[in-house]
Each structure stands twice: as structure tokens, then as C-alpha cells.
Structure 1
């Protein structure tokens, strides 16, 4: 169990709520924002002492029933609730499977839209011809650019402080099914130490699994493109497939990509 992160997460989410958010009376002056510990314990149906120990990073391992009660008390989203449950199970997390399944590689070959596969560390580990036509050949990119998080927070990248970067940080926390993975931990430590924008976003503890996003770009051959990116988890592994499909008005431009070898 990741006691330190569990403790910080509970404190953070408690501070975001007001008594009015959960149907309680304000109850006089408050020295700090958010709910009191006593109020969270009341809403979750547990003792105040038990909850205090959880926030202090000590005490017994909470049961799933207790964690779900806390999720309801703190008005957590579905992604936040799953993250809370995963924190308590962190010690027993499985090791990630690094090899991209053969059926996923065959799928990439057959797709007529740009697609790539990312691992838990946001490394591009597989892609198809249409993606090469869209962004260039990842095999010829510097290794650091093939890691989408490193690239997003590169000082030379104008989007380093943008909404996409914020979404990816929230997704990294939320979808981190392998919290003990040395590669993921090393990447987070590297970005915390060297990228202030990443460190600021990481400290906000936003939790949201990215399932779709929108990409806008200008291609040297196809012209302006507005693409929807669907993010699909590969069952039984750490990988996710990203599929780019054209939004209304970009279908013809996307079809032009099929005539482009690379750029």
C-alpha cells in the first residue's frame, strides 16, 4: 500500500469540498478550507481516529468497503475512486508485460487511419504507415521525442504548458496500473526534477483517464487537420492504442495522407 500517496490524496480531496457540497451545515468558523476530518469520518461511517490515522499514513490496511465509503464521502469521480482503490493495492501490483501483442501489431497494419501504441511510460512502441505520414517516422526521431511526456514538457515545445500536457499528467496518475514499475517511477522523478511545469501539474493530483482527445495540426501535404484521438486499452497488458479519426471537415485531408509516404 502506498501510504504516503494515499494520505496526500485524502487530504487533497477533503480540502476541495465544502460542507454545502455534501449537505452539511458550515458549523462556525474554519481555520482551513475544506471539510473537517470529523465530517469525512461521519459521512463515510468510520471512526474519526481511524480516518485520522489514514491521513497520517499509519494504521491498518483499509478494506475495499472502507475505501468505497470514503470515495462516496469525498464525492470522487469514477477514475478517482479506482485510483484510490489502486493505491491500497499497490504492493501487490503485477509487473507490466512489455511485448506488444501480435494481434495488436496486425491490427495496426490493417488500419487505414493513423495509429500508435503507447506503453505505461508513454513510449511509442509501435505505429503504422498512416502515422508516419501524419507526424514523420518515429524510428528516425530522437529517443526522447518518442516518449510523449518528455516531448510534451520539452522547453522547446510550445505546448509544454498547454491543456494537452495537463490532461496527460492527470492520465499518468489515473492510469498508472504499475505504480512500482521502475521505468514509470524514473520518468516521474526525472520530470519532477527538471520540468517545473510538470512538477506543478503533478502536485495538483488531478486524476482523469484520457479516453479521447482532439488534435489540430497543419500537415505540409494534407493541409489543416482536426482529428479525434480515441484511446483504447489493450486487455491484459500495459499498452494502449491511439487511433486518429477525422472530425467533420477533415475527412478529405485525412484521405490525402494515404498518398504520403512520410515527410
Structure 2
């Protein structure tokens, strides 16, 4: 970012903070208004107190000075100024930060991801999971292939747990031991990034602790401290009804939640697409699950 651009952005941030402070009445944030006030909205010291920061630091922000605000500072300001989602996103943008995605309440699936998952159902097994890889929804083709995963109790609905702790799942994977090692490392490197994004919150820390307690393979890979956002490489699985299936991955991340949709696509040059089409003709009593 050039010096002129940075200066303009600082001025925009300062102006935004001043305007929002002036527009916010003390009653909205639970402050008394009995004494005469010289400002139409909140005072700087009141915003600073509500945002859990020093008045001096806040004043510097309104003056377009000081260091780049941290994510914690921005979260405090967004709460203190009672910013709506668009205002909160704009605040992070002006400060040069990425707004942390919010978590959807338990059982709530991002509607945009759900719509795309259903749209690809005819040709691609797909599912929606949160950032810790707990499955929230599956399309019909994914459920037919891999059984019901969404809504399973405890860790059974978590893809990382199924990879490192479920012998049944790994026995269906046809990739070589070396390739499976690469897939596992990719999962762990992804989880490392998510933990940092979540600020090492209790949910993510508990998942790591549980995995370390059960899987020596996971513990070994975790201690390597690799990081990556790249999806796992091509995976091949054996389905008892239709044979070998070779899948590549695509991941669609929500801009409004911590959820993402994973769709599996037949690898070109394999028989996967034809074999998936054959699932439509498999009798109901032949459908099995992999858990």
C-alpha cells in the first residue's frame, strides 16, 4: 500500500469512527444522560471504556495516527459502536484486517452453501462442514456413498476424527500408504491455520486434545507444525456396490460463517462418473454405509 493510499485509509477510518460515535446515543449503550453533554453522541472516553482500551489510544485512531489496530481492538470498537454487519465489515476493511467469520448456531447451515450443495447433487457428492470439519449437511449422493455423517453424536460426524480414528473409513481408501500420509498431513496443516484464526478457542483446543489422545499418527503430524489451506489431494475409495471411485476436491468457503462446502468431482480419465451414474439403479436394500 502506497503512502498516499495508507494516509487516505487512515483518514477514512478516523472519520468513520467519529461519525459513528456522534450518531450513537448514550441511552443505547446504557449510559446516564442526566448531566449536560457537549457532544451529540458518545464522548471519546466513553467509547474507549466500552471498547476496553485507553482513551489516548482511541483518540489517536480518531486523529488518523497510531499503529494498525489489532483484531481484538477492532472487535471491541465494533461492539462499542454497535455496528451492524456491514459496518463491522467496513471497519475491518479500513483497518487492513480480515473480519473473522462468525459461527452459525448449532444446527444452522449456511443457506448459500446449502443451495450450491443441492445444485450439484446429480453429479457430485458434496457436504457442508464447519471450519473444524464437523459435517452439518450432505447431499443425497454423498449420503448414498458414505452413509449418514451429519448429526452423528460426539466426534463421529467430524471428518478429521473419521480420518485419524475410524478404521472403517480408512479401510475403504485405496491410496498408497505414502499418499495417505500426505492426505493426513494436509488435514493437520489445515487445522493449524484454523486454530490460529479462531484464536485457540476452547472448541478448537478440545478437538486437538481429543485427537492427540486417540491418534499417535495425528500427534506426530501435529508436532511438525506445518500449515496449509490447500485441500487434500486426489483420493480413491472402494465402494462395494460400484467399485473404485477417484475424486478430486473443490471447496467453497462462506463469507458469512465458518462453514464451507466440499464437493467431490470424478477425476477425468477414470470410470468414476459412469459408476456414480449407476448408483441410481442400485436397489435400496443394497445401500451400505461407511462410518
**TM-score w.r.t. length of structure 2:** 0.53
Asked if 1:100 corresponds to 2:122, the answer is no
TM-fit CA distance, 1:196: 2.1
1:252 maps to which residue? 274
CA distance in 2, matches of 1:184, 1:166: 17
- Residues paired across the two proteins, number: 177
**1:108–1:155 Cα change, 3 Å:** closer
| Cα deviation digits, residues 53-101 of structure 1 (max 9, x gap) | xxxxxxxxx979xxxxxxxxxxxxxxxxxxxxxxxx89x9565234322
In 2, are the aligned partners of 1:210 and 1:231 still within 8 Å (CA)? no
Q: Of the candidates 181, 186, 190, which is equivalent to residue 167 of structure 1?
A: 186
RMSD: 3.0
1:130 maps to which residue? 141
In 2, are the aligned partners of 1:96 and 1:181 still within 8 Å (CA)? no
TM-fit CA distance, 1:153: 1.6
CA distance in 1, matches of 2:115, 2:101: 26
CA distance in 1, matches of 2:149, 2:235: 18
**1:118–1:139 Cα change, 3 Å:** closer
Asked if 1:215 corresponds to 2:235, the answer is yes
**TM-score w.r.t. length of structure 1:** 0.58
**1:106–1:63 Cα change, 3 Å:** closer
2:220 maps to which residue? 200
TM-fit CA distance, 1:134: 1.3
**3-state SS of 2:226 partner:** coil
TM-fit CA distance, 1:143: 4.4
Asked if 1:151 corresponds to 2:162, the answer is yes
CA distance in 1, matches of 2:241, 2:117: 23
2:126 maps to which residue? 115
Q: Which runs of 5+ in 1 are unaligned?
A: 1-61, 65-88
Q: Which runs of 5+ in 2 are unaligned?
A: 1-66, 70-96
**3-state SS of 2:252 partner:** strand
